[in-house]
Amino acid sequence: MNITLRQLRVFSAVARHLSFTRAAEELCLTQPAVSMQVKQLESQLDVSLFEHLGKKIYLTEMGREVYHYSRSVLQQLDELQGVLNSLKGLGKGKLKISVASTANYFIPVLLAGFCQRYPGVTVSLDVTNRETLLTQLAENEVDMVVMGQPPDDMDLGADPFMENPLVIVAPPEHPLAKDKKIPLQRLEQEVFLVREPGSGTRIAMERFFAQHDVHITTGMEVGSNEAIKQSVQAGLGLGLLSRDTVEMELALGRLVILNVSEFPIMRYWYVVHRQGKRLSMVAQTFKDYLLQESPSLLGKGEQKLPQARIREAHSA
Ligand code: PGA
């Protein structure tokens, strides 16, 4: 077998996007150059990696296998580069992180501070929901992730670094907007907009109501925090969201937090990586930075963080 790393990189990009055009854009290559690399890889391995059905392309079974191995080869090489950089004591390197979509409301500010302090570091940031984060950890695709409570059934190192209260939001004209200590059972008369399956916020919401034996009515299923906020403002129902996502709407008076007993649901933000993963110097420095400085950089008051990590089941 005489394949090259370049072929693997190009093939992985096509397989990730399932598109030659988008892979070419990402790699700053022309589309014929991308097709050529994939063809050469196919001929070296003597297999077809993609099949074309209509305008779409799909990985063949062999393509899926090659994708699985090429990701791990490329990840190992990135890790090697990180370790070598640390040994050389370079102030530069690459940080590859993924964060829960809800964490996107504060992570860019923290990254900006980090990149200012370490200008030689290049960051690759992916924003996705909890379920995808867990797959990325399992596949060792990232240095670390930022998420709500990590699951119990994976071998993970997880450190809490900030509170993440979940609140119920309503439009300011909602009949409950001015009430105090609204009993939990009163929520059974309301309709809730919910995030998509796989969202950590949704899992926490369902668990909380089940634990308190409250049977809420769910209305529309909405795939992002932004869309939930818009739908709540439009009067389509109540939303249960991380407080971090609604700062602006609260300040502008577009949404209010309902004063419901037992609320907020207190969750925490964790920085999580695979147990035993050898963090590069850049990744370790970023982790320390999150743990020590995030609340103060974000202007949050004193935080009460759990001593040990609170675990929750992967699929619960
Ligand atoms: P989500 O994650 O954006 O997937 O809802 C947030 C969390 O895990 O708390």
Q: Give the pLDDT of residue 90.
A: 58
Pocket residue to mutate for ligand 1, from 224, 242, 245, most atoms within 8 A of Cβ: 242
Do the domain assignments include residue 316? no
Residues 213 and 185 in one domain: yes
| Distance from residue 40's CA to the centre of ligand 1 (Å) | 41
Q: Give the pLDDT of residue 302.
A: 75
In ligand 1, the atom with minimum distance to the C-alpha of 203 is 5
Do the domain assignments include residue 294? yes
Pocket residue to mutate for ligand 1, from 166, 195, 199, 314, most atoms within 8 A of Cβ: 199
Last residue of a domain, one of 37, 55, 70: 70
Residues 195 and 227 in one domain: yes
Q: Is the CB of 156 within 6 Å of ligand 1?
A: no
One pLDDT digit (tens) per residue for the chain, 316 residues: 789 999 999 999 999 999 999 999 988 889 999 999 999 999 999 999 999 998 899 999 999 999 999 999 998 888 787 777 666 665 678 899 999 999 999 999 999 989 888 888 999 999 998 889 999 998 888 999 999 988 888 889 999 999 999 999 999 999 999 999 999 999 999 999 999 988 899 999 999 999 999 999 999 999 899 999 999 999 999 999 999 999 999 999 999 999 999 999 999 999 999 988 888 888 999 999 999 888 777 777 777 888 655 455 444 3
| Distance from residue 123's CA to the centre of ligand 1 (Å) | 21
Q: Is the CB of 200 within 6 Å of ligand 1?
A: yes
**At 240, which CATH number?**
3.40.190.10
Residues 279 and 148 in one domain: yes
In ligand 1, the atom with minimum distance to the C-alpha of 166 is 9
Residues 258 and 305 in one domain: no
Domain that holds residue 60: 5-70
Residues 249 and 190 in one domain: yes
Q: Is the CB of 245 within 6 Å of ligand 1?
A: no
Task: Summarize pLDDT for 254-294 with one digit per residue, the tens.
Answer: 999 999 999 999 999 999 999 888 888 889 999 999 998 88
Secondary structure of the chain as H, E, C letters: CCCCHHHHHHHHHHHHHCCHHHHHHHHCCCHHHHHHHHHHHHHHHCCCCEEEECCEEEECHHHHHHHHHHHHHHHHHHHHHHHHHHHHCCCEEEEEEEEEHHHHHCHHHHHHHHHHHCCEEEEEEEEECHHHHHHHHHCCCCCEEEECCCECCCCEEEEEEEEEEEEEEECCCCCCCCCCCECHHHHHHCEEEEECCCCHHHHHHHHHHHHCCCCCEEEEEECCHHHHHHHHHCCCCEEEEEHHHCHHHHHCCCCEECCECCCCEEEEEEEEEECCCCCCHHHHHHHHHHHHHHHHHCCCCCCCCCCCCCCECCCC
In ligand 1, the atom with minimum distance to the C-alpha of 133 is 4
> Does pTM top 0.85 for this prediction?
no
Q: Give the pLDDT of residue 154.
A: 87
Residues 135 and 12 in one domain: no
Q: Give the pLDDT of residue 116.
A: 86
Residues 147 and 288 in one domain: yes
Q: Give the pLDDT of residue 309.
A: 54
In ligand 1, the atom with minimum distance to the C-alpha of 242 is 9
Pocket residue to mutate for ligand 1, from 201, 222, 229, 271, most atoms within 8 A of Cβ: 201
Last residue of a domain, one of 70, 98, 120: 70
